[in-house]
Structure 1
């Protein structure tokens, strides 16, 4: 009976990867959209940013990339949001444009869900296979193993230094 309902079985690892990559894309782009909306609202009411973070975001969102995103949204609407997930480097620009133009959330959300699904499928299949393949190739040679060890040590050092800096800042 089960076979009649589902002729194929999905690999649980693939499903988990899809959920992880979908979630990352959804949270990241939703935050970008809402920050851009807040900044657009503040700009329209001539309100100064309330924090350093918002001030930095306002500078970013008044630049050329944000203007390109706004132009894409004006031209293609929610389709720009969907198609931005196919090209590297366009998600931030287009989602910023959607927020800056105050695209209605009920219009933005379905486009975002479709785009995040595309992102999840691409990264859970092709992207993950490429990553695993690179690691297997690198781990198969002495030089590759050396590079992986050095990268791991560098990452660990960076994390330790960041934690120490944060502790010093809190203590002061």
Structure 2
């Protein structure tokens, strides 16, 4: 049987490296920041306060709760969800999950995530190409969609901050 044509292996490897680096960065930032920020400081302004708030906030608490309930199994399965991957990886850093256990749990999750993006993600990319999103009008519509989503997220975040302010 012949080797399949196309760059699937290279694309998978690219996605694997991307998610590996992202997961490692999330774990280590949370682990180091927890030691330094949560345990030793209580900032009230600036980026340190935002990091402190995120690490001691509800989303990280949800990640920690998932880890407490499911243990190391939560790490690889989080890569198959939307919105849980970052908080579980950060939660693993916050609770200082032993690195080797985290790494062994993370690798299959990275492999699965890369496979999903290699197949489904590349299919969506090629569908966008086929739909003409590389023409002048397609690029303009794509940029407009990105701007609208970014503006929506900014408004949503601003409202959340305003709701929390007494």
Q: Describe the shift of the 1:11–1:111 C-alpha distance in structure 2 as closer, same or farther (beyond 3 A).
A: farther
Superposed, which structure 2 residues align to 1:121-160 within 5 Å? Answer: 121-139=115-133, 145-149=136-140, 151=142
**Could you tell me which residue of structure 2 aligns to residue 94 of structure 1?**
88
Of 13, 18, 38, 1:24 maps to 18
Q: Describe the shift of the 1:61–1:8 C-alpha distance in structure 2 as closer, same or farther (beyond 3 A).
A: farther
Of 99, 102, 113, 1:108 maps to 102
* Partner SS state of residue 89, structure 1: coil
Superposition deviation, residue 153 in structure 1: 9.1
* Partner SS state of residue 40, structure 1: helix
Larger Rg: 1
Superposed, which structure 2 residues align to 1:8-19 within 5 Å? Answer: 8-19=2-13
8 A contact 2:76–2:105 mirrored in 1: yes
Superposition deviation, residue 39 in structure 1: 2.1
Q: Describe the shift of the 1:44–1:66 C-alpha distance in structure 2 as closer, same or farther (beyond 3 A).
A: closer
**Could you tell me which residue of structure 2 aligns to residue 82 of structure 1?**
76
Unaligned runs of at least 5 residues, structure 2:
147-166
Q: How many positions carry a matched residue from both structures?
A: 145
Superposition deviation, residue 100 in structure 1: 0.6
Unaligned runs of at least 5 residues, structure 1:
1-6, 156-172
Measure the CA separation in 2 of the matches of 1:89 and 1:153.
24
